[in-house]
């Protein structure tokens, strides 16, 4: 139960910060979402650092890692988890799986958004 709570708290904080980034930075360019882009890249940097520190052992507890990586970075951006997973595939030499998973995630994700938007117009 404690693990669920730390993920919940971290996710809430990350979501609030992502919202602040969007409100602050997304208006600078008409066709480029700077706030979202910055949140995604910063989230990638943070999750890499957090998971790297966690892998060292005796630096972060399991709950601290859940709070920061799963909760905060997950709430701040799911892109950080996506990028970390792709890095893992590349590091393991799984080039074909990297390409298939990356392309299918992007293409199917965009199609799912289009389908959801279409379905919402039916209601």
Provide the token pair at 103.
């392309």
Distance CA 75, CA 68 (A): 10
Judge whether 77 is annotated as a binding position. yes
Whether residue 14 contacts residue 71, with contact meaning beta carbons closer than 8 Å, is answered with: yes
**Cα radius of gyration (the chain):** 17
Distance of CA 20 to the CA centre of its chain: 16
Annotated binding site: 74, 77
Annotated binding site for Na(+): 74, 77
């Amino acid at each position: 139960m404690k693990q669920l709570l730390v993920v919940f708290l971290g996710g809430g904080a990350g979501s609030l910060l992502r919202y602040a980034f969007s409100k602050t930075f997304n208006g600078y360019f008409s066709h480029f979402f700077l706030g979202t882009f910055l949140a995604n890249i910063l989230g990638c940097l943070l999750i890499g650092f957090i998971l790297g520190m966690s892998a060292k052992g005796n630096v972060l507890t399991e709950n601290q890692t859940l709070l920061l990586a799963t909760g905060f970075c997950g709430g701040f951006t799911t892109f950080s988890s996506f990028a970390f997973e792709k890095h893992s595939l590349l590091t393991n030499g799984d080039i074909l799986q990297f390409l298939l998973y990356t392309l299918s995630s992007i293409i199917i994700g965009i199609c799912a958004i289009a389908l959801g938007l279409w379905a919402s117009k039916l209601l």
